[in-house]
């Protein structure tokens, strides 16, 4: 599970996760409410690659500081 705000960033996160580890399973993407969530299944290595890709992509988005 990877949680982020605002919720719409879950779509970006899901896209990055699929690019980083295409063998993983994207179980669910929730973009409802204040926080978005991405649920990923797969090997430990694949999930860690996806997590790192999501973290880097979200960190690169410019905007207001939270």
pLDDT at 66: 59
pLDDT at 16: 96
Tokens, residue 39: 């649920």
Which three-class secondary structure state does DSSP give residue 38?
strand
pLDDT at 36: 96
What is the DSSP code (8-state) at residue 64? -
Task: State pLDDT tens for residues 2-52.
Answer: 999 999 999 999 999 999 999 999 999 999 999 999 999 999 999 999 999
Nearest to 25 by CA among 47, 57, 7: 47
pTM of the model: 0.88
């Amino acid at each position: 599970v990877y949680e982020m705000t605002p919720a719409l960033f879950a779509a970006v996160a899901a896209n990055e996760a699929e690019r980083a580890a295409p063998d993983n399973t994207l179980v669910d993407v929730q973009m409802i409410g204040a926080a978005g969530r991405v649920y990923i299944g797969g090997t430990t290595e694949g999930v860690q690659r996806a997590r790192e890709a999501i973290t880097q992509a979200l960190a690169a988005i410019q905007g207001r500081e939270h």
